[in-house]
Amino acid sequence: MDIKQLKFLVALDETRHFGQAAARCHVTQPTLSMRLRQLEDELGLELVRRGQRFEGFSAEGERILAWARSVLAAQDGLLAEAAACRGHLVGTLRLGVVPLASFDPMRLVSLFAERHPGLRFQLHALSSDQILERLVRNQLDLGLSYLDRLDREHFTSLELAEARMGLLYDQRHFHFTSSSLRWEQLASLPLGLLSTGMHFRQSIDHSFRARGLSPLVRLEADAVHHLTQAVSAGLCCSVMPLPANGSPTDGHLRLLPIEDAHTLAPQGLILRRSAPASPLAQACFEEAREWLANNR
């Protein structure tokens, strides 16, 4: 058994396709398949269910896969620890971000990139539950998510921002004369919102219900760019977070503040407490703490 076989196994899980996994690992598909069979022979277990294409993992394969991720995480941690001992941070920081985060993740990414030119970054748009799950499984290093359902025994966090909301609209299709809007005014507008169940959507629904209002939801989507496209097409307006530096304009799009509009919980940067500890994640978390203390 060697580390490459474990990388092949994890790549297959992430791509769910033999050819794509081989391409990601820079080997041919026959080589990847052969090495995985060698791993199965050595362990005496069938890990991968095969037909004419990839059909998933066996129950035993799922258990071995969890160990493979831990071994690869330990290798990454070893390399990161060695680099930290030399005064450098290297590797890939995996950051999960909820849709419509009020805190711009690029502010943190830019901070880390400036201080550590050798770092690479992966950003994943995920729900708050998915972020916590992937942190536990060591598939993410840090999460930018809501803090209301956080288990403080297993996670530590830095509060970043309380999200305020604004109405995103295209001035070619809608026109408003006031500098802010009330929820009562939004109730009569065609709206495009995130899918029901997403945290930001729950805050919007709560704000309408608390006032006895029923919004006119014309479109629902689980991707922010689809909402933006619908707004640009004039199909609807949408409720978006207000950035900390004001209400920006982008072409014909405008973002108008909504009075008394807040999410149900603040957002924060989240770090897993349990092993294996990531020197990279811990170092970036502490740098974020220092940066926040100096920029409150």
Whether residue 225 is contained in a domain is answered as yes
SS3 143: strand
Whether residue 78 is contained in a domain is answered as no
Confidence of residue 92 (pLDDT cuts 50, 70, 90): confident
Q: How many structural domains comprise the chain? A: 3
- CATH code at position 61: 1.10.10.10
How does pLDDT run across 235-281, given as a tens digit for each residue?
A: 999 999 887 555 555 689 999 999 998 887 888 999 999 876 677 88
Task: Kindly state whether residues 145 and 168 are assigned to the same domain.
Answer: no
Task: Kindly state whether residues 111 and 152 are assigned to the same domain.
Answer: yes
Confidence of residue 127 (pLDDT cuts 50, 70, 90): confident
Beta bridge partners of 191: 217, 237
Dihedral of alpha carbons 182, 255, 214, 102, sign: negative
How does pLDDT run across 27-70, given as a tens digit for each residue?
A: 999 999 999 999 999 999 999 998 878 889 999 999 999 899 88
How does pLDDT run across 187-242, given as a tens digit for each residue?
A: 999 999 999 888 889 999 999 999 999 999 999 998 889 999 999 999 999 999 88
Task: Kindly state whether residues 145 and 210 are assigned to the same domain.
Answer: no
Q: Containing domain of residue 138, as a range?
A: 89-161+266-294
Contact 105, 131 (CB under 8 A): no
Q: Where are the beta strands (DSSP E) in 140-236?
A: 142-146, 155-161, 164-170, 190-194, 216-221
CA dist 272 and 70 (Å) reads 14
Residue (of 51, 50, 47) closest to 38 by Cα position: 47
Whether residue 80 is contained in a domain is answered as no
CB atoms within 10 A of CB 253: 17
pTM above 0.85, yes or no: no
- CATH code at position 275: 3.40.190.10
